[in-house]
Amino acid sequence: MVKPNFAKFDTLALHAGQQPDPVTGARAVPIYQTTSFVFNDTDHAASLYNLERPGHIYTRLSNPTTAVLEERVAALEGGVGAVATASGMAALFLAVATLMDKGGHIVASGSLYGGSHNLFTYTLPRFGIDTSFVNPRDPQAFKDAIRPETRLVFGETLGNPGIEVMNLPVIADIAHEAGVPLMIDATFTTPYLINVFDHGVDIAMHSLTKFMGGHGTAIGGVVVDSGRFDWETSGKFPTLTEPYAGYHGLDFAEEFGTQAFVMRARAEGMKDFGACLSPTNAFYILQGIETLPLRMQKHVANAEAVAEFLDGCDEVAWVNYPSLKSHPDHELAKDLLPKGAGSILSFGIQGGRDAGRKFIESVNLASHLANIGDAKTLVIHPGSTTHQQMSPADLESAGIGEGMIRLSVGIEDVADIIADLKQALRVSQKG
């Protein structure tokens, strides 16, 4: 039996989406730092505007450097296409606004990045879109929360900062039974650790700022379309299945079929909302993606060692990391994330909030800042920073205690990371 021999993940991370520049021979992806692109003639211009021919018009809509990034991420995720955005939050808003109008409803995991939680809780209701939050470990809760007006089920592969493992196949089935797509923020895992589309997810999004870029140099986001959700059969998505006056009555599902979502996201969302990624940031992120497989292997190996270390420390009350047998989702993580459960972990220090503050202020190698997924080790106290807008009840529901520390384990020598944590833990217990 013959078998196709397609390029593998590591090869795609380096090559997908790019041919050497046909004019200059440049092997690296050139930065096309231009706002606009010259048309051949008026017919060519009209056909580009009217989505009759492929090509670039204006960098808010698309750009050759950014397009390499979009195509590369789509290739790594196994999607039909992708749209890059100015940030991960822009990607999330773009997806929501492409899927629904006022009156829409979202069922979301209660354990989300604080910015996403804020968007769903406070901002989207101003536009008539409501969200019900549920326990990410309770699929039945997702099912029970779905209403006739629900248009999206949303969660994160690994909850932030609770590190809950979402049971994607089960929750995807629940969403699909209700005729709505499942969208997942896969920032914590990247497509290297899990291909979410293989588990029934319909739309993936990333903050490219994190592991994908990997070096803390550029903010960016992306939304990727699996192409597998049948918008027409669902009948709940008029933005994709009915004529759009903004494009002379274009019906995206009728004309673009499996690419309906990603085409509308670009044609409407990038044009009207305008949260485009700069070509230079696309370049920086592409440099990171080239080494994504190598970095993720080191991130995971270091995180596993750090989790084991913390788990054995008297100063540590608990450690939340799915590779530990004590984690409630340990078996699910082994199933869904066989290459490892990422490099974000959270833990609580004996002594609560004060001990947590001392720890944060005592680390030397690790950096105290509001990011994750950098090559360098990072720490933060979510209750006072990334999740500070959440009420005590929401914090409790998201599993965030007052003393919780979130650690993003970098790719330094793991002995140096552990030594730094050890001395900071010692300081945290001093009176």
Partner 1 sequence: MEITVNGLKAHAATGGRDLNADEPAVILVHGAGLDRTVWQLQTRNIAYMGRRAYAVDFPGHGRSEGKALNSIEEMADWIPAFMDAAGIDKAKLIGHSMGSFVTLEAAARYPDRVEGLCLMGVSDSMPVHPDLLAAAERNERLAPELIIYWGLGEKAKVGGHPHPGLWVHNASQILFENAGDGVLFNDLAACNVYTGAVDAAGKVKCETLYILGKDDMMTPARKARPLADAMANAKTTVIEKCGHMMLLERPNQVHDALRGFV
Closest separation between CB of residue 75 and partner 1, Å?
A: 5
Instruction: Give the list of residues 6+ apart from residue 29 with CB closer than 8 angstroms, or none.
Output: 18, 65, 68, 283, 286
Q: Which of 13, 83, 107, 180 binds partner 1 (CB under 8 A)?
A: 83
Report if residue 182 touches partner 1, rule: CB under 8 A. no
Which residue lies nearer to partner 1 by CB, 79 or 288?
79
d(CA 309, CA 313): 7
d(CA 234, CA 146): 15
172, 229 contact by CB (below 8 A): no
Report if residue 312 touches partner 1, rule: CB under 8 A. no
Q: Taking CB under 8 A as the rule, which mask of x and - marks residues 224-263 in contact with partner 1?
A: --xxx---x--------------xxxxx--xxxxxx--x-
Closest separation between CB of residue 346 and partner 1, Å?
A: 34
Which residue lies nearer to partner 1 by CB, 11 or 389?
11
Q: Which of 32, 78, 115, 381 binds partner 1 (CB under 8 A)?
A: 78
Instruction: Give the list of residues 6+ apart from residue 88 with CB closer than 8 angstroms, or none.
Output: 113, 115, 185, 187, 205, 206, 207, 208, 209, 210, 220, 221
Which residue lies nearer to partner 1 by CB, 40 or 388?
40
The conformation of residue 256, written as its DSSP 8-state character, comes to H
| Binding to partner 1 in span 12-51, by CB under 8 A | 15-19, 46-47, 50-51
d(CA 323, CA 306): 11
Q: Which of 5, 24, 42, 391 binds partner 1 (CB under 8 A)?
A: 5
Closest alpha carbon to 311 in 300, 326, 299 = 326
What are the start-end ranges of the H helices in 228-291? Answer: 231-234, 238-241, 252-256, 260-264, 271-272, 279-290
Residue whose tokens read 């979402």: 166
Closest separation between CB of residue 66 and partner 1, Å?
A: 8
Tell me how far CA of residue 30 lies from CA of 35, 69, 138, 159, 321, in angstroms: 15, 12, 46, 36, 39
Report if residue 368 touches partner 1, rule: CB under 8 A. no
Closest alpha carbon to 376 in 318, 425, 416 = 416
Per rule CB under 8 A, count of chain residues that contact partner 1: 56
Report if residue 8 touches partner 1, rule: CB under 8 A. no
Q: Which stretch binds partner 1 (CB under 8 A): 71-79, 135-143, 156-164, 375-383?
A: 71-79
Which residues of this protein are in contact with partner 1, per CB under 8 A?
Answer: 1-7, 15-19, 46-47, 50-56, 61-63, 66-68, 70-72, 74-75, 78-84, 226-228, 232, 247-251, 254-259, 262, 266
